[in-house]
Amino acid sequence: MALSIQPLHPQFVGEVSGVDLTRPLGRDEVAAIEAGMDRYAVLVFHDQRLADEQQMAFTRNFGEIENARGGNVTRAGQHRLPQGMNDVSNLGRDNQPLARDDRRRLFNLGNQLWHSDSSFRAIPAKYSLLSCRLPATVGGNTEFADMRAAYDALDARTKEQVADLICEHSLMYSRGSLGFTDLTDEEKALFRPVRQSLVRVHPVSGRASLYLSSHIGTIVGWPRPEAMAFIRDLVEHATQPGFVHVHRWRQWDLVMWDNRQTMHRVRRFDESQPRDMRRTTVAGDAPTAEQIAA
Ligand code: OGA
Ligand code: MN
């Protein structure tokens, strides 16, 4: 059966069938998936029994795998997965749920806030690919918001207001907003804020989108409370039900999204039970704004 994509959400989520991601793909298949990403921004694949190596091989069809360094508080020797895989499970090396007060768990709770992956990096991520190896027993849906639709729906005055704004993003801001502040000096240096444009234009479709994320901690040149009140208002606007798609995970689903055009968050789940989710990330190719010299 040939690869085909059916809309799940008319604006921005497609469901892909007729492709086996465990095998090397043909050029036409890669091109069809890329075209689907440009058109929709989120693609859902079912029944993909991927091993880590196969997930990484599929990911490399779309660019280089992003280096995970500087994206979490997991220390050398604590990694459960091979290099190139982002562990977004609630599990330790022993495959058991992390203890309630484990720093890695508390840090990962930040994924429950609306965000775009790696917006805290000077060159932020292009795509993320999340494979469900074991779904949560209760809760744990992942929600996606279409940031192009959110931009389009802004009134003319707000569009003008956001046009040239630059935000500062850092993991310290998203984690700080949950009260997670116990960071080592090394982590603070690693999580130094970066600058991102608030409006992005997609290189293929030419569509504008709001580049929002819980990693935002201020707008350059604005008083901080004014910036944060404005950003909150934009996030509320951008995550109205009409712009949001809820994904309910089945084992072996793979969901792929464009971080340049969407935000996402995971909903709370029963953390006494394993939820094994593994992400690969395609690196972006350019910064969205000029950085300040270190
Ligand atoms: C991610 C993420 C959400 C989830 O992998 O980037 O935010 O559902 N995960 O685990
Ligand atoms: Mn994420």
Distance (Å) from CA 212 to ligand 2 centroid: 13
**Contact (CB, 8 A) for 129 and 58:** yes
End-to-end CA distance of the chain: 53
Check if 277 has its Cβ closer than 6 Å to any atom of ligand 1. Answer: yes
Mean pLDDT of 23-34: 98
Report the predicted TM-score, pTM, of the whole model to 2 decimal places: 0.97
**pLDDT value at residue 294:** 60
Full set of structural domains in the chain with CATH: 4-281 (3.60.130.10)
Of ligand 1's listed atoms, the one at least distance from the Cα of 117 is 6
226 CB neighbour count, 10 Å cutoff: 11
Count Cβ atoms within 10 A of the Cβ of residue 27 and give its class: 0-12 exposed, 13-18 middle, 19 or more buried: exposed
**Overall size of the chain counted in residues:** 294
pLDDT digits (tens, 9 = 90+) for 152-192: 999 999 999 999 999 999 999 999 999 999 999 999 999 99
How far, in Å, from the CA of 259 to the mean position of ligand 2?
9
Maximum Cα–Cα distance across the chain: 56
pLDDT of 107-152, one tens digit each? 999 999 999 999 999 999 999 999 999 999 999 999 999 999 999 9
